[in-house]
Structure 1
Amino acid sequence: MATLTIRLPDDQHARLKAMAERRGLSLNKLVEEWSTRGIAEFDVETRFMALAARGDKAAGLALLDRLDAHFAPGSSTSKG
């Protein structure tokens, strides 16, 4: 396991510590959860970009047109 040292202004550190305590977490666990979320978002974005690079632009736009038609106001399947 690695150790990471970061520098924060004292007031920001105090606010983060209070946030962690309110959530019933250590400050370490709070930052660990944030980093896990950030990595998950990065992985999703990376996967999306890879799929987009291999994809067919015309087919993707056609699919979006079908979704627009499906959810358009007045459509029998739209909610609204």
Structure 2
Amino acid sequence: MSTLTIRLPDEQHERLKALASSRGTSLNKLFEEFSTKALAEFEAETRFRLRAARGDRKRGIEILDELDRMHSEKA
């Protein structure tokens, strides 16, 4: 396991500590959750871009538009 040091404004640090506390977790676990989510999103986008490069660009845009509509209807 690695150690990572980051610099944050004091106010942001306090807000993140409060968020972690409200979730009943540590600040370390909160950042672990954030990084896991960010990596999953990055990997999904990478896979999508690779598939899109091999596919039909117009159909890909249609699918994204459809997803946008579905997402906006849920909100």
Range of TM-score over shorter length: 0.7 to 0.9
Query: Larger Rg: 1 or 2?
Result: 1
Moved over 4 A (4+): none
Q: Point out the structure with the larger helix share.
A: 2
Q: What is the TM-score normalised by the length of structure 2? A: 0.75
Q: What is the 5 A alignment of 1:18-57?
A: 18-57=18-57
Q: Which residue of 2 aligns with 1:16?
A: 16
Runs of 5+ consecutive residues of structure 1 not aligned to the other structure:
69-80
User: Which structure's relative contact order is higher, taking Cα pairs within 8 Å and 6+ residues apart?
Assistant: 2
Partner Cα separation in structure 1 for residue 33 and residue 56 of structure 2? 36
In percent, how many aligned pairs have the same letter? 63
Runs of 5+ consecutive residues of structure 2 not aligned to the other structure:
67-75
